[in-house]
Structure 1
């Protein structure tokens, strides 16, 4: 059985990714900062819950220790936890955004590496964003003013590339799941159902042993860096 941890899986794309992976036979751990929401999601989906705040070193260490003790390895890690602030922008709000969207990836990845190295097919998926692509955002048609969020996602994608380069035995890929109607995007109109975007994440989370690494894609293919 494939053992999978999804951060920020109490709602939105993470929750739907967990649902789809459970249906595919994964033994899914739902990592969530909100214990009530995480436990409810796990019970609903037939998954496991582990308290996990990606901004807290002790919380991350405890979560991975729990998985280690219960199962001894980790096959798939999905970095889904994310935040977006709409301004006014200042130092504290920027630090909060980067702490979740970029530094959180470092915390969880480093804690998970010993468990991933015990897997026969270790796979890490980072839910990034086209808003972190220099190629996309410099297009005159790019409509959004989200500088801090975009910068944090550019950092998330860079972390993915760096880990892919130096952790040769583990696949690391970043994905733009598509514009989705979630709590985080409530400030914008439109967005498709979370289940559709989750399917894009699931595609990378279910790569075979010979799957790619170091990529940045959406459902249509490769995205510019």
Structure 2
């Protein structure tokens, strides 16, 4: 697998993931859409199947789509540091592209939405109760469950061996069970990439990009992914 293949596959897969994931949030959160006020379950199922689509189209790179997953694979020794960097670059570029495409699809609705918070909520996560320490712990726990489950299902290898549907189910159950406090970023690229897009896109009345919170959905998932990889050695010995 060449570095170019990794970069292109991760870029395309993450773009699909973010386009569909932010798209379902836009459909629920922005006024005058067909899905306005569709509810939390609509968003949760939408994100789960966005993962399914993203994993499906990025099979050639192993479909990490998440720096926390790539970090775990680096710790497990399945990828090199150079490959890790290429995975992450592709994931962040794809996330920015996907968020931009979502904005294009819903441009008129963004312009007519009166609430800046609703616009930002399409792009990035935010806590229901802002407490950075506990928000961080929530993201660590959610990402640990995601990455630990992937390591177990894939026998410690790259996520492509798992298949798209089981990953989608894992994301779905994390969303409905652990998503309430922070909106379950569980993926640094999923949050930071669209947040960057929110900052530079010409969205009418968009307000702040909430950079004071932006570190939580980056650091938390990376810590959770690293812990999942490290604890898999004693807790999942058959996969190593």
TM-score, normalising length: structure 2: 0.29
Kindly indicate which of the two structures has a greater share of residues assigned to helix: 2
Q: Which has the higher strand share?
A: 1
- TM-score in terms of structure 1 length: 0.30
